[in-house]
Amino acid sequence: MYFSSIGTMGVKSGQRDAVISILTRSNPALADIGCLVYEVGGRDDDPNTVYVCEVWESEEAHAQSLELDSVKETIAEAMPLLTGDFGGYDFMVAGSPLRSE
**Which residues are at the interface with a copy of itself (CB under 8 A)?**
2, 4, 6, 8, 20, 23-27, 30-31, 35, 37-44, 51, 53, 55, 74, 89-101
Smaller CB distance to a copy of itself: residue 20 or 62? 20
Choice between 32 and 83, CB closer to a copy of itself: 32
CB of 66 to a copy of itself, least distance (A): 14
Taking the C-alpha atoms of residue 71 and residue 56, their distance in angstroms, rounded to an integer, is 15
Are the C-beta atoms of 9 and 64 separated by less than 8 Å? no
- The CB-of-84 to a copy of itself minimum distance in angstroms stands at 20
Give CA–CA dist 4/6, Å, rounded: 7
Alpha-carbon span 40 to 19, nearest angstrom: 10
The whole-angstrom separation of Cα 92 and Cα 68 is 22
CB of 22 to a copy of itself, least distance (A): 9
Distance in Å, CB of 37 to a copy of itself, minimum: 5
How remote is the C-alpha of 76 from its chain's centroid? 14
